[in-house]
Structure 1
Amino acid sequence: MLYYLFHYLDQLDFPGAGMFKYISFRSGMALIFSLFISTIIGKKIIDKLQYMQIGEIVRDLGLEGQMSKKGTPTMGGIIIIIAIIIPCLLFGRLENIYMLLMLITTVWLGAIGFLDDYIKVFKKDKEGLHGRFKIIGQVGLGLIVGLTLYLSPDVVIRENVYAKNTNNEEVIKYMPENIKSTQTTIPFLKNNNFDYADLVPFLGENAQIAGWIIFILVTIFIVTAVSNGANLTDGLDGLATGSSAIIGVTLGILAYLSGHIAYASYLNIMYIPGTEELVVFASAFIGATIGFLWYNAFPAQVFMGDTGSLTLGGIIAVFAILIHKELLIPVLCAIFLVEDLSVMIQVAYFKFTKKKYGEGRRFFKMAPLHHHFQKQGNSGIDAIIQRPFRAIPESKIVVRFWIVGIILAVITIVTLKMR
């Protein structure tokens, strides 16, 4: 909103109004405002949650310090959502299709998570919202994002191609026109553009339409997988929040590079007009998560609940899709992916051993993976499989996961030149 006000004032030669034309200025202001909201206003929300006795319901899993978390205010994801939306409304260009999709994602998954937490806290149903309804909501969001990218005339790319100059040297050039395309970026490869339509070349003229169908299905899968991964990661104080902040910084950098034709050309990645506006959203996202971490770090004064964790994962997934970097998610979001896989492996191994030996066994001491490191090791053959033997303090597990997240973020950015 302020963007449009100062754009009008700039036409009247109002001093300083022209600053709002620059992404760097608006991104910086979004970061500052989101930090202010999540820390100052966030404290008031936490006090209100305590007054309303909206406390975490904790099951005794035999983990050190676990029961001390009982009664800690939950549903703090409201703070993150507010701290993202308000700065974006103030400093973002609201006609930008990418900004609109990110705001819809934030509200959509925030509402699903809020409903889940509401059922747990107020209805005293520890299962919360039934899993099928969460999946329906995630699939619905994937459809909205995928179909919007297909139908909107504003969603275009400028394809990067290799060419020879007068000295017979390879240079990067861009096609003369913007096009709608299902191309995405493949890491580590020199010719790094991949078109989903190439998966169905036998369809001839219909291959492009089929490519969009495949793209929409991929979008649904990624939104569901990453949002659930973030939800599973939210089990230790500050783990999901800090990891998301690191990922947010990386996505913000990638969005800025993709939306700037000079930098995109230098890195040999496709130029995506309009994605530079996502830097404003990324700045608000970073500020919101860091500000929330002020209260969520060990020992946590508030938990985000599904209101926050589903929202964070969905934002990360949709953001990566909008900048055509969804194939980098397995690297950038490897922590979320491993948390997902640890649960799947645990369940599969338990069922397999129960069928084979008549008694179910566990591959990990506990799943998701972060609880495996938190739990004291067993004796015998299980101790060999289920390392480490000793429990690691919660705060150390979280910091180590953050360090791994930083390494993954650096690798993700380096992949743009590592080919």
Structure 2
Amino acid sequence: MFYNLFAPLGVEWTAFNVFRYISFRSMAALITALVISILVGPRFIAWLRRLKCGQYIHEDVAAHAAKAGTPTMGGLLILFSLSVSLLFWADLANRYIWQTFFVFVGFGSVGLWDDLSKLRHHQNKGISARAKFGAQILVAFCAIWLLWENPAFDSRLTVPFFKSWTLDLGWFYLPFGIFLMVAASNAVNLTDGLDGLAIGPSIIAALVFAIFLYITGNARFSAYLLVPYIPGMGEVTVFCAALAGAGLGFLWFNAYPAQVFMGDVGSLSIGGVLGYLALLCKQELILAVVGAIFVAETLSVILQVGYFRWTGGKRIFRMAPLHHHFELKGVPESKIIIRFWILSILLGLVALSVLKLR
């Protein structure tokens, strides 16, 4: 809104030119979302308590018994602060902003449906897997189709560490993009099992993609760093910054010991939009690097279930996802969280190094 109102005034008053800079508006969006989250958070959590939106704790995780009843669906706080921040600082005429916001709200709606179902049945059983995946696939299909119909976008897959070698997937890019978004969405959902565990790496991933998207939308930087140039894509940097700010504000209340959990409405929306951001900046495979924590958590579940069925009851890990394995080995929850954050920071730096290691 500020961009659309004040940027045109820069022709006569140069002071208003500051609103033209994506870097300035991104920083402002991050701070705005952070401040809104911290200010609104206490009342929002109290509202969730009045609605009795308490988290169900699975009996297999005995160490988490004290967390039973902690308000969930905190992802709504992220959505609110993100939305207000975008309204203030994003270019509302930019198509990519609205497409990205659609993905965030779309996956969040699926998560909200699941959360409400769990609360209604007073157990950790939401909507059926078929309904959940079907709704996610529908949102992902609509999002990837909007990209496919854009002449500025193509079906080539960027391969990290190679200067000019790309893989043209053709029509296969559609199912690939759908898989990427749905997989990322559920990977973040699986990781959201400890206080602050999922939101920390998500913030780091959002900041990493903010840099990639800024470069993708800048003709000079993209040419120098051999990154595909897509006009207007740099504006999504504002979205990434707002997401990081909203995530930090949520972490204020979600840090150990958590006062609120994000719920599926938060984890599915964040994971889905991270997958979409990777598609937007044509760094699809980098998502597996910057989100390696999510990948590891997901693989631990797949391996555990597969090995259990294959051997007739044996396990690889004491419990899956991976963070529960470390818990049952006696590692304190706070230590697991901090170590996962540290690994996420390192992975984010590795992902950014791809810009020069070509």
Q: TM-score range by the shorter chain?
A: over 0.9
Alpha-carbon shift at residue 14 of structure 1 (Å): 5.1
Query: Aligned partners of 1:283 and 1:62: how far apart in 2?
Result: 35
In structure 1, the partner of 2:354 is 415
| Mapping 1:2-401, distance limit 5 Å | 2-10=2-10, 13=12, 16-64=15-63, 66-153=64-151, 156=152, 180-196=153-169, 211=170, 213-354=171-312, 360-376=313-329, 391-401=330-340
Distance 1:330 1:29 in 2: 29
Structure whose alpha-carbon radius of gyration is higher: 1
CA distance in 2, matches of 1:7, 1:218: 38
2-structure distance, mates of 1:125, 1:136 = 22
Distance in 1 (alpha carbons) for counterparts of 2:16 and 2:61: 58
Letter in 2 for 1:364: F
Hey, what's the Cα distance between the residues in 2 that align with 1:341 and 1:101? 29
Q: Deviations over 1:312-352 (max 9, x none)?
A: 10110001101111111111111111111111111111111
CA gap of 1:145–1:232, structure 2 versus 1, over 3 A, is: same
Tell me if the contact between 1:119 and 1:128 (Cα under 8 Å) persists in the aligned partners. Answer: yes
Residue of structure 2 equivalent to 1:386? none
Question: 1:412, 1:276 → 2: CA distance?
Answer: 18
Q: Which amino acid aligns with 2:156?
A: Q
| Distance in structure 2 (CA, Å) of the matches to 1:258 and 1:332 | 17
1:205-240, Cα deviation, whole Å (9 max, x unpaired) = xxxxxx0x2111101100111000000000000000
Cα displacement (A) at 1:123: 3.6
Alpha carbons 2:3, 2:19 under 8 Å: kept: yes
Indicate if the aligned counterparts of 2:70 and 2:260 stay in contact, CA closer than 8 A.
Answer: yes
Look up the equivalent residue of 2:346 and give its one-letter code: I
Gaps spanning 5+ residues in structure 2: where? none
Q: Runs of 4+ in structure 1 displaced over 3 angstroms?
A: 7-11, 13-16
Report the number of matched residues. 358
* Matched-pair contact (CA < 8 Å) for 1:142–1:216: no
Check the 8 A contact 1:63/1:375 in 2, yes or no.
Answer: no
The answer (yes or no) to whether the contact 2:58–2:124 under 8 Å persists in 1 is no
Q: Distance in 2 between matches of 1:310 and 1:40?
A: 24
Q: Hey, what's the Cα distance between the residues in 2 that align with 1:108 and 1:145?
A: 9
Aligned residues: CA RMSD: 1.5
Contact 1:374 1:394 in 2 (8 A): yes
Q: For residues 275 and 228 of structure 1, what CA distance do their matches in structure 2 show? A: 26
Preserved contact between residue 4 and residue 92 of structure 2 (Cα < 8 Å): no
TM-score by length of 2: 0.96
What is the TM-score with the length of structure 1 in the denominator?
0.83
CA contact (8 A) 1:236 1:394 kept: yes
Residue identity matched to 2:355: L
Aligned residue identity for 2:248: I
Q: Deviations over 1:38-86 (max 9, x none)?
A: 111122101111222211111222443x111011111101001111111
